[in-house]
Structure 1
């Protein structure tokens, strides 16, 4: 299922959302300029390696991506859901919320795989936090989704709680299955997604702008 747009109009220009997207692409373009050995060194230095990590790597790993598909998928989802969440938080609170969810996502991954020496990169844990917040903040929203069925594609408007709830369930199920796979067999940090989504659901209220009377 490919989400195309939601039906919740933005209220203000999402400055922080666009700043995060721009920073991610700037870092990715820098990655593209590196030879393979230097890129691997970058991932091991600034990615999140559970068995040997620094505190800063919980943040820096969220601005690294492994491929065009990786970064486009993450940034597209942030574009779809981030503006509405930022509307309710304001630009500064949104950035702090985004980073907090990324840290908790990374911590969840480290807790599940404490001995892993594989670097984890990507904004998907922080993004999952934004999706978790959206899941509770906009229960009546709907998402226009492109659904492939064999050789045909269908446009279907799905309630956001169904789309995001199904996504969260698939991450939990995939993460559970991955627990029984050899280390390195799973290329996706599913438990980081689960941790980020849960963090977004729990923490989002702490970052909302005060409501004026």
Structure 2
């Protein structure tokens, strides 16, 4: 099930959402233009490396923000940008441009810290917009609990579109990440070697902080500006 668009109209042009998508795409094209060694150095410099953050918070804190514009592959980028495109515009519409960018970057940074707490001595870079976008999803689900999203459903070699509740779509996303995050914790407890993978706890943390920060920044204010 892949979301295509939601059915909530917006009253403003979501310039920040468009800008964020553009920046993520441009940075990714820069990533894939780099040869292997330079790419590794680039990611070490701008992604969150938990061990480096632990040893030098004062010098590494900026990676909590720069890491939000890095991606590990085409599917990582495309899936994140689709979710941002669909759900970000309505949150930007309700918060306004300025508060929205503060909200987005704050959710992303706090999400990265959640992942850092799980493995403070890890040397595996943590990157991606998923934590910030999870914050957007958390805010969306409490602001538009009855919204529906047109989604693409694959049935073997065939596909169709159906309208599904946003609550169901985002709920599945959140539950999958909770289960995977708990499984990763159990695996880490039983293994002495360092493992990489999806930053599930960044997703969970971003979602929770989106639910918290959205109302604080005016998500439920009156509809007129």
The match for 1:188 is: 198
SS at match of 2:205: helix
**1:151-183 deviation per Cα after TM superposition (whole angstroms, max 9, x unaligned):** 443422111111111111111111111112355
Q: Do the aligned partners of 2:141 and 2:167 also contact (CA within 8 Å) in 1?
A: yes
**Aligned-partner Cα distance in 1 for 2:19–2:136:** 15
Q: Does 1:93 align with 2:99?
A: yes
Q: Do the aligned partners of 1:142 and 1:159 also contact (CA within 8 Å) in 2?
A: yes
The unaligned stretches of length 5 or more in structure 2 are 54-59
The match for 1:205 is: 215
**1:34-69 deviation per Cα after TM superposition (whole angstroms, max 9, x unaligned):** 111100111111101111121001001001111111
The match for 1:33 is: 33
After the TM superposition, list the runs of 4 or more consecutive aligned residues in structure 1 that deviate by more than 3 angstroms: 149-152, 182-186, 209-213
Q: Do the aligned partners of 2:124 and 2:196 also contact (CA within 8 Å) in 1?
A: no
The match for 1:155 is: 161
The unaligned stretches of length 5 or more in structure 1 are none
1:173 pairs with 162, 179, 183, which one? 179
Over 3 Å counting, the alpha-carbon distance change for 1:184 and 1:8 in structure 2 is farther
Q: Does 1:68 align with 2:74?
A: yes
Give, in angstroms, the shift of residue 148 of structure 1: 2.5
Q: Does 1:49 align with 2:59?
A: no
**1:119-139 deviation per Cα after TM superposition (whole angstroms, max 9, x unaligned):** 011000000000000010011
**Aligned-partner Cα distance in 2 for 1:7–1:63:** 27
126-135 or 25-34, which moves further after superposition? 25-34
The match for 2:56 is: none
SS at match of 2:52: coil
Give, in angstroms, the shift of residue 115 of structure 1: 1.6
Structure-to-structure mapping, 1:119-130, within 5 angstroms: 119-130=125-136
2:150 pairs with 144, 147, 158, which one? 144
Q: Do the aligned partners of 1:178 and 1:186 also contact (CA within 8 Å) in 2?
A: no
The match for 2:88 is: 82
**Aligned-partner Cα distance in 2 for 1:50–1:66:** 17
Q: What is the total number of aligned residue pairs between the two structures?
A: 213
**Aligned-partner Cα distance in 1 for 2:168–2:77:** 24
